[in-house]
Structure 1
């Protein structure tokens, strides 16, 4: 329920980024959104934050998308938001999840909000076909191995120095090397989204 008894205008579903959780969203911008009259909902994806699963391990990106669709469908059925507009908000990896959810159910959302969405990888960063073939094979043989290098994106995601310093205390966030299967799933997801971007209407 939004703050100060403000009538609910709609529901917003938040999808967090790869190295993040719901924690900072609810501690910051979510409060402002709720104060303006929107019901705000979020979940830690499997393998992230306080959810079950091996930390940082994404065996199937589409499973994450389906989890969001299942969760949001249940939320939208609640009496307080049943007949109100529904929006999905995604940041970074969560932006990719939001886009794929929208592509799977294009008529189920009144809007998609994206912040630095993971929807395309620079060609200069994509390994050669031979290397990709090797990584694909390795991801099947030892999918949970941490082999991809990790880059801290906190400075790019959080501009305010105070909040950036506080981000280091989010002990349930994943800040280690990317697991093999996870890396390949993220790459596959961005390629799938890029091939379907013409279906998404931007404003």
Structure 2
């Protein structure tokens, strides 16, 4: 009888090893744990391998719900590094190798603050010296990470030269919204139910992955949260949506927001609202007819290439040519 094949070690497979993979991709990867006032975060960076040219700018990436920075999500900052950008990311609290109960968001503002603490430590810290201090700094958020990026812009409105939102979690389609009565009932248990993984799966599923082969790889992630959503997590995601509705007009930072109209996980109407109400003088929206939620990790190849092309053109137009 044939033995079941073991899952791959990395999203690209079991070979080559990580060092060879990054070298072949033309990037240099570093990993570190960073202590924040809110908990310990696992962080990574990807730099262009060439030591002869300076990076165009710094970009800080925030992943989505149930994900982390060590599986297929890292293909996004790797691509930016191949374009000449220095890129950084952290596993969110309750995700990947960072502190916290897996899949649990106790407080959405704290989750944003923890990642922002790391980003600012790079942006404002002495590690990379005056060379990086002169570079422009951008935020990138995918899905829930897009919602957290929105919160970061509220918490630190003057610190960024631009932001990119990929299918941001800012508004939820009605069929995917958690039952208010269910959340109210669990709330009557004085906090005991907040960590229970009992929310219906339809609240976080839908048209997420268009390319089913890539979807299989994403689901192989050994650190991916696979249980039903925790009560407190869904409650905090609704808090995020409420904050967005009340404060979306406060965004002043230049931004690009991208969303597929076929996405039934997050509502593209939220991205439209951000574009319509934000006070940014430089703002761009791209709506892709029929595209699903995962625009860069698991969209059809020709579709993801189109999205990447739009992102590349937008950020290159707002950064200086490396010296």
TM-score (norm 1): 0.89
Residues 127/162 of structure 1: CA separation in 2 closer, same or farther (3 Å cut)? closer
Q: How big is each residue's C-alpha offset from its partner over 1:19-40, in whole Å with a ceiling of 9 and x where there is no partner?
A: 21112222x2222210111111
Offset at residue 160 of structure 1 (A): 3.7
Which of 134, 144, 147 is residue 185 of structure 2 equivalent to? 134
Mean Cα deviation higher: 94-103 or 165-174: 165-174
* Aligned match of 2:200: 149
Match of 2:140, SS state, is strand
Output aligned runs, 1:1-203, within 5 Å: 1-5=47-51, 6-23=53-70, 24-26=72-74, 28-77=75-124, 78-79=128-129, 80-123=131-174, 125-126=176-177, 130-138=181-189, 140-151=191-202, 153=205, 156=208, 158-200=209-251, 201=280, 202-203=283-284
What is the number of equivalent residue pairs in this alignment? 201
Alpha-carbon offset, residue 136 of structure 1: 2.9
Report the secondary structure of 1:178's partner residue: coil
Distance in structure 1 (CA, Å) of the matches to 2:216 and 2:174:
32
Structure ranking higher on relative contact order (CA contacts 8 Å, 6+ apart) = 1
Structure 2: gaps of 5 or more residues: 1-46, 252-279, 285-323
- Cα 1:127–1:153 change in 2 (3 A) is closer
Higher-helix-fraction structure: 1
C-alpha distance in 1 between matches for 2:162 and 2:122: 16
1:150–1:175 Cα contact (<8 Å) kept: no
- Higher alpha-carbon Rg: 2
Could you tell me which runs of 5 or more consecutive residues in structure 1 were left unpaired when the two chains were aligned: none
More displaced, 64-73 or 138-147? Answer: 138-147
Helix, strand or coil at the partner of 1:22: coil
TM-score, normalised by the number of residues in structure 2: 0.57
Q: Per-residue CA shift, 1:62-106, capped at 9, x if unaligned?
A: 111111221111111232422211111001110010000011211
